[in-house]
Amino acid sequence: MTAAHERPARRPVRSYVIRSGRLTGGQRRAIEQYSPRYVIEFEPGLLDMRQLFPLPQPLTVEIGFGSGESLLAMAREQPQVNFLGIDVYQPGIGRLLQGIVEHDLENVRLICHDAVEVFADNLAEESVDRVLMLFPDPWPRKRHHKRRLVQPDFMRLVQSRLRPGGEVHLATDWPPYLEHMMEVMERIPGFSNRCGENACWESPERPLTRFELRGRRLGHEVRDLLYRKSGT
């Protein structure tokens, strides 16, 4: 189990709010029927990925998969990778479970819990190959900036869970949050920007999300960042 001193300080506020989107009948049935197989119940203690996934493959963790279409597409396109999705949005979980079953995917597992606690309590040091944080809530009001997930303490925790050479892929369509992400990441020793100092990833390798497509229609400029943990 992770030592208490390794955890980031407990915060009085979360980096998310639980959206109360309405579950369809199919989504509700998917959660009821398929959660025992694909959804990991949160409890303190390290997860054994050898027991969770049929094959010992590189592990990608996506924080905040939303409606799940991007995670589903990646899992289908990359069967040689195991994917662990973290989110608390119930309609998205139900929809993703429907897709997992429809396409008979065995390289996807989900956790419906706070990502900070999952990283602190469930993931071993140097056990993750890639972390995706695609369009986290930017919390644009200044008084809410403390809610932003990309903060020095959390990103240092993420770094400790990455294998040497592991990567963090970030994306946002909110320019002030892009600046915030860069400022945080560029100041953490042991992370290097794969695209150059303060540079964005111009041709990111990922599926388009519904959120992203909607933002582009509204004229939002989407930017991606890619950082690598030092080591071989």
- Give the residue among 126, 121, 123, 72 at the shortest CA–CA distance from 101: 72
* Nearest-10 crossing angle of helices 90-102, 69-77: 30
Catalytic member of 87, 121, 137, 153: 137
Verify whether residue 104 is a known catalytic residue: no
What is the torsional sign of CA 165, 168, 169, 173? negative
Q: Can you give 63-98 as a three-state secondary structure string?
A: ECCCCCHHHHHHHHHCCCCEEEEECCCHHHHHHHHH
Q: What distance in Å separates the CA atoms of residue 85 and residue 216, rounded to the nearest whole number?
A: 25
Residue at token pair 């979360």 = 14
Q: What is the Cβ-side half-sphere exposure of residue 118, based on CA atoms within 13 angstroms? A: 20
> Catalytic residue positions?
137
